Structure 1
Amino acid sequence: MQRHRQVRADYLRDLARIQGKADPSPPSPREIPPEERCTTCGGPTFVMSYGRVCSLGLHDG
């Protein structure tokens, strides 16, 4: 499913570029503040009712 989404996003981005509706370069990823990074692996986190959780799903942050 994730691969399908990536392929579709790439296709739509390329189509918009060909039609002249989009910037030729993809937007840069947003900078994640240090307090929102996982202390174990440095990946992004999100807040659950019991605290911050690593979005990679491998461990609690």
Structure 2
Amino acid sequence: MDINIRKAIKHNIADNDKEQLRDTIVDAIQDGQEKMLPGLGVLFEIIWEQSDENQKNTMVDSLSKGV
């Protein structure tokens, strides 16, 4: 069985508005379950791909401060 996680997650959120996307992120983080990590990874990948270099640097700075 070959499941494309990226494709499935993108399909599941394709029609979500900004509030729904935010709720998805907040719920996944608050829930803290390991099974949510791949979905958050896909969402981060989408954000990364849509970001310019300054935004990417800001994200990396925030990440380095948080770890």
Which structure's residues are more often strand, by fraction?
1
* Bigger Rg, structure 1 or 2: 1
Structure number with the bigger relative contact order (C-alpha 8 A, sep ≥ 6) is 2
Q: Same fold (TM over 0.5)?
A: no
Question: Which TM-score applies when normalising by structure 2?
Answer: 0.29
